[in-house]
Structure 1
Amino acid sequence: MDWFTINPKFIRYFTDIITWPDTGQAIWPNLASLIFRPVQAEDVDLIVEMHERSSAQTIFSRYHSPRVPTRQEIAQICQLNGENGRAIVAAIGGKNPAVVGLAYYIASAPDTAELALLVEDRYQGQGVGKQLLHQLTATAVAQGIHVFEAFVLPTNKPMLHLLHQTGQVMQNKLVYGAREMRIQLKAVSPWAFADEWLLSKEPDRAMTFRASEATRNLSTPR
């Protein structure tokens, strides 16, 4: 199965957000230069640079210490291929490419994986982390992963909020100063958050499209 299985309706609906399905890319509506795509081996330097741009607080929230991953560890993340995990990035293209967000999971059991998410400071609070997690969750469920494990500092309120939106919290206990959480995943469209965003920003366009889709579905022979 491909990384992102895109319903054809989204290509008609989000022509200004989504490119062709074979690219696995989505353009973020409120940050026109931002795309979401599978990680590539060539992203190692860009991910290293993202860590260098991130504040000490962001690094501590993610890693629970001032230590950042080594280049070799980041290279291993960039090799996640589906058998042992998946990784996606929020990236800026053009003359000065950059990775500004990274989400990945590493399988820890046949149906369970450990989740990790990092968004650099400048792009926090704009829905980037939520979209990364939406796409990663959709991919995980398609690959037979039904539970995410995460270890989150109690002070990392945005991440805790995202996890509660991702599925049913099966476990949430304090272990050595961090929240150890297990989340039962729910099926979600990779583009669900983009759909919510457009409905909130352009309701007339969204509702017109949905009405046309309903008419089209009713008239389609079954």
Structure 2
Amino acid sequence: YVVTEYGIARLEGKTIRERALELISIAHPKFRNELLNWAKAHKYVPEEILPFPEVEYPEELKRYVTLKDGTQVILRPIKPSDATMKQHLFYALSKESIIKRYLGPLKSLPWDRIWPYVIIDYKNEMVIVAVVIEEGLETMIGIGSYSKIPNTDSAELALVVRDDWQGRGVGTEMLKYLIELAIANGFKTLKAWVLVENAVMMHLFKKCGYKMKYRLENGVYEVVLDLSQPVKE
């Protein structure tokens, strides 16, 4: 572990690229992009990585939840060094889960699609990962996000859970936390697009505790959660 006033870097079992990104992310925000450019010049990290926003990693948003079966799961904001774990999660998903998450088949998740997802401002964009500790190391089992829709007080919502962890409450906990964070950051509604055959996700939204509206078009539900109207389950 390396600890600074800007966060904690966990380096054990990680690649050079992951270690470099971990250390950059806990440096003073003013110096992160200078360090990133140095790491790029020395080939420690890929050139495609986007500049770091000058924001501190919100360590205080890390949360421990216990599933109904007693399993403890960590929910926390994503870090740039999570890029590899996010890619591993994608390739661990079944074809069906990928189609439901991305509304169509997707054979690969290249790095240029990952970097914008792991380098965020933690306000207008939020990504929460669900991780468990296996043999002393973190393993990502789910990921959920919201992203501000420009010029609105609404955000687009999406989440996915690894197949072998589905049905255990991971998605429920991620959705609950994303809603909490969206409200704290001033959003009034969350929008999601759900394939008509994805009954599990629709059920998850219906029991989330907020008024839900939806309409069906071309086999896809447009779902709107009104965060100003909580409802009793």
SS at match of 1:133: helix
Which runs of structure 2 are paired with 1:124-135 in the superposition (5 Å)? 124-135=166-177
Q: State the shift of 1:23 in Å.
A: 6.1
Task: Name the one with the larger strand percent.
Answer: 2
Q: State the shift of 1:185 in Å.
A: 1.7
Gaps of 5+ in 2: 1-58
1:82 aligns with 2:122: yes
Task: Name the one with the larger helix percent.
Answer: 1
Instruction: Please give the alpha-carbon distance, in whole angstroms, between the structure 1 residues aligned to 2:61 and 2:120.
Output: 18
1:119 aligns with 2:161: yes
Q: Which has the higher contact order (CA 8 A, sep 6+)?
A: 1
Is contact 2:62–2:74 with CA below 8 Å preserved after alignment? no
Instruction: Please give the alpha-carbon distance, in whole angstroms, between the structure 2 residues aligned to 1:114 and 1:148.
Output: 6
1:103 aligns with 2:144: yes
Partner of 2:110: 70
Instruction: Please give the alpha-carbon distance, in whole angstroms, between the structure 1 residues aligned to 2:159 and 2:70.
Output: 19
Deviates more, 1:86-95 or 1:47-56: 86-95
Give the RMSD, CA atoms, in angstroms.
Answer: 2.2
Partner of 2:60: 22
Q: State the shift of 1:95 in Å.
A: 3.0
Gaps of 5+ in 1: 1-20, 189-222
Instruction: Please give the alpha-carbon distance, in whole angstroms, between the structure 2 residues aligned to 1:43 and 1:157.
Output: 30
Is contact 1:54–1:120 with CA below 8 Å preserved after alignment? yes
Is contact 2:89–2:140 with CA below 8 Å preserved after alignment? yes
State the AA in 2 paired with 1:101: G
Q: State the shift of 1:139 in Å.
A: 0.2
1:40 aligns with 2:79: yes
1:164 aligns with 2:206: yes
Percent identical: 27
Deviates more, 1:175-184 or 1:149-158: 175-184
Partner of 2:43: none
Instruction: Please give the alpha-carbon distance, in whole angstroms, between the structure 2 residues aligned to 1:142 and 1:181.
Output: 21
Is contact 1:138–1:187 with CA below 8 Å preserved after alignment? no
Instruction: Give the TM-score of the pair, scaled to structure 1.
Output: 0.69
Going from structure 1 to structure 2, the CA distance change for 1:80 and 1:57 (only over 3 Å counts) comes to same
Instruction: Please give the alpha-carbon distance, in whole angstroms, between the structure 1 residues aligned to 2:186 and 2:211.
Output: 17
Instruction: Please give the alpha-carbon distance, in whole angstroms, between the structure 1 residues aligned to 2:61 and 2:187.
Output: 23
Instruction: Please give the alpha-carbon distance, in whole angstroms, between the structure 2 residues aligned to 1:138 and 1:187.
Output: 13
Instruction: Please give the alpha-carbon distance, in whole angstroms, between the structure 1 residues aligned to 2:158 and 2:74.
Output: 19
State the AA in 2 paired with 1:26: Y
Instruction: Give the TM-score of the pair, scaled to structure 2.
Output: 0.66
State the AA in 1 paired with 2:154: T
SS at match of 1:122: helix
